[in-house]
Chains A and B, each alone.
Chain A
């Protein structure tokens, strides 16, 4: 059994070399506050939309467009959050989701699309790390939709270097999120989804990989029931 918390002197030495000084220990916060107050008041008065200081117009959540994978990686935080939820509901609600998930479980998890469906289900139950693990697994197996989920998940968490990596991958593979339909068609998630899904997930601990959620075969009928529950809410 490996002691995971054992300290490695080489690692500690490496970490010790990272320390920098506290650069802003003498920083004049009062002056910064005065400057910011003037700046915010000026922005507030600046009603001309061409004014460089003007706040951007408030946009309600009505965008029909998906976040676009892009080479330069300019992404919007809130939109990624909503888009991830939307794509997860579309993936989970797809007509072939249950048979694909069944094949995935029976084939001992050797299947990208099935891993992506499991990841999306986990995301909707609130298991963000479990979801990310299976998206990475699916994306590693060449599943572009899982790569798109990772892009959105990284943006949503403010991990923008990693988001840009997936943006470039998806751009070069020509992935278009529209293959999942319109952004506004995403079904509403039933409130008790976590209660319906969680009993069919077991958690396995692996010393190198961490905690991995694994699906039971009974998740397949649960997913089918979920699909009919979603349909009945429309």
Chain B
């Protein structure tokens, strides 16, 4: 196993590149670095913003977190171009910067209730309060999922990304996204069963 072994989740920056001094300041970047960087920025920026907003509940905070993500990517772009899974690495940098931003705001990074309000507005039916209560309950269940399943469900179910879009953003295989969604569904189903058993017990007493 070598230092640059295949890692489906992105792995780390190959430090041998760092040692050979391939990291250049932005102003000295060769044209190929420039074009790939801006193409990547264009490809992912709004998706990063959507996910960051879901976590932070504020446009300004989402912009700051995504700006900080691209600062980090700029500092490592030369190394990232050597990586097997550039997208997976960038996704993890985003997650770190969103946590940093949430910490700066003095709150935990998690889907905010604002997302539940938005969801209720999006899926409005006859009774807005009922819609909101149901959306908040759904977001409550979402928060209790393991983080891998939650990330996938946030992208696919909250933000409406296709399996392919979510996989491309996270830098994983489509099969991985499908598998996490399936596991999330199983877990939600198990929880609903538990709740209904508790409910039945309560009625008997």
Q: Which residues of A come within 8 Å of B, CB atoms?
A: 4-5, 7-8, 10-11, 14-25, 27, 29, 32-33, 36, 39-41, 43-45, 55-56, 58, 60-61, 72-73, 77-78, 81-82, 124, 126, 128, 154, 156-162, 189-191, 193-194, 208, 210
B92 contacts A19, C-beta separation under 8 Å: no
| Contact (Cβ within 8 A) A82 B123 | no
Q: Chain A: which residue is nearest B143 at the CB level?
A: A161
Instruction: Give Cα A99 to B12, complex, Å.
Output: 33
As a 0/1 sequence over residues 119 to 155 of chain B, the CB contacts with chain A under 8 angstroms (1 = contact) are: 1111100000001001101110110001110010100
The CA of A11 and the CA of B185, in the complex, are separated in Å by 7
Which of A33, A58, A81 makes the CB contact (< 8 A) with B12? Answer: A81
A36-B192 contact in complex given A162-B146, A193-B1, C-beta closer than 8 Å: no
- State whether A32 touches B138 (Cβ < 8 A): no
Other-chain contact of A43, B71, B141, B158 (Cβ < 8 Å): B71
A15 to B158, CA, bound (A): 8
CA of A17 to CA of B119, assembled, Å: 6
Residue on A with the closest CB to B37?
A: A40
Count of chain B residues with a beta carbon within 8 Å of a chain A beta carbon: 74
Give the interface of B toward A (CB within 8 A). 1-2, 5-9, 11-13, 15, 18-19, 23, 25-28, 38, 41-42, 45-46, 49-50, 53-54, 59, 67, 70-71, 74-75, 89, 91-93, 95-96, 99, 103, 109-110, 115, 118-123, 131, 134-135, 137-139, 141-142, 146-148, 151, 153, 157-160, 182-183, 185-186, 188-189, 192
Are B138's CB and A15's CB within 8 A? yes
A43 near B74 with CB under 8 A, answer yes
Cβ contact within 8 Å between A78 and B146: no
A19 CB contacts on chain B under 8 angstroms: 119, 122-123, 157-158, 160
Across the interface, which residues of A come within 8 angstroms of B192, CB to CB? 8, 10-11, 14
Q: What are 20 A-B contacts with C-beta separation under 8 Å? A: A5-B182, A8-B185, A11-B185, A11-B188, A14-B188, A17-B120, A17-B131, A18-B135, A18-B138, A18-B158, A22-B160, A23-B50, A25-B46, A40-B70, A72-B103, A77-B96, A81-B7, A158-B91, A160-B96, A162-B147
